[in-house]
Amino acid sequence: MVLDLLLIALAITLDPLPLTAFVLVVSSAKGVWKGLVFILSWLACLVAVIALVLALTGGQPPAPRSTPSTAALAAKLAIGVGLVVYGEHTRRRMVAERAHRRAPEQPSLTSELDRSTLWTSAGLAVLLQPWGMVAAGATEVVSADLSHPVTWLVLFAFCLLATASLLAIELYVVFAPEKAKPRLLRLRAWMKGHQQQAIVILCLGLGLWLTGKSIYELTA
């Protein structure tokens, strides 16, 4: 559970879509406060998913080969396959766009975010949460045993790692506001140019890992 959860958290924190939007959020008017609300909403989603799974399992992992255990593995397999399919679809679309020498359309959100409210930032965090990866994390939490203190540390590490990139950007804006904005806008421009490549790598890598691990555990 530990390795899988940390890999999933790493994929979540490196997802370019929420990162690109978060850079715009913290670069807008009152960006520090909007960024803080974004992070709190992001964390609330992760905590809510973990709490829901633990409430269903009672904090005790299901017995091996039991119906709940098999269902969790089947769900993880389906999510892994879904990530692989999405990653391959993105790769094919990227190749087609390159062949036609056109870049994917990127909507301009700067002016809209300048006029946005704190509630907008909170809603944006929910919408941009990579729910497929979060669902994969939920299938791992099924096997969490709350009677062991280490489990609490692993779950905390999962939430922290999944939010690490957002926290790093937020702290950079807080402690170095004058340097942060131009550098973050350059970072956003770079991420826009490499967004699809990052999605392909993350989805295919994590999807293949989850698929292979699930098949092994289902057949072992």
Condensed to tens digits (0 to 9), the pLDDT of residues 143-172 reads 888 888 899 999 999 999 999 999 999 998
- Alpha-carbon distance of 87 to 127, in angstroms, equals 19
Compute how many other C-beta atoms are within 10 angstroms of the C-beta atom of residue 157.
14
pLDDT at residue 174 greater than cutoff 60: yes
Distances (CA, A) of 68 to 36, 41, 81, 136, 142: 37, 29, 20, 15, 9
Residue 16: how many other CB atoms lie within 10 Å? 19
Q: Is the pLDDT of residue 114 over 60?
A: no
The predicted structure's pLDDT at residue 170: 92
The domain locations on the chain are: 1-60+71-95+116-219
188 pLDDT above the threshold of 80: no
**DSSP conformational letter for 64:** T
The answer to whether 170 and 18 are in contact (CB under 8 A) is no
Q: What is the DSSP letter of 144?
A: -
For residue 106, what pLDDT is reported?
A: 47
- What's the confidence (pLDDT) of residue 115? 59
How many H helices and E strands in the chain?
9, 0
Q: CA 34, CA 69: separation in Å to the nearest integer?
A: 40
Q: Which pLDDT tens digit goes with each residue over 44-66?
A: 999 999 999 999 888 888 887 78
| pLDDT tens readout for residues 90-105 | 888 877 877 776 554 4
Query: What was the pLDDT predicted at 30?
Result: 81
Lowest mean pLDDT among 26-30, 60-64, 143-147, 192-196: 192-196
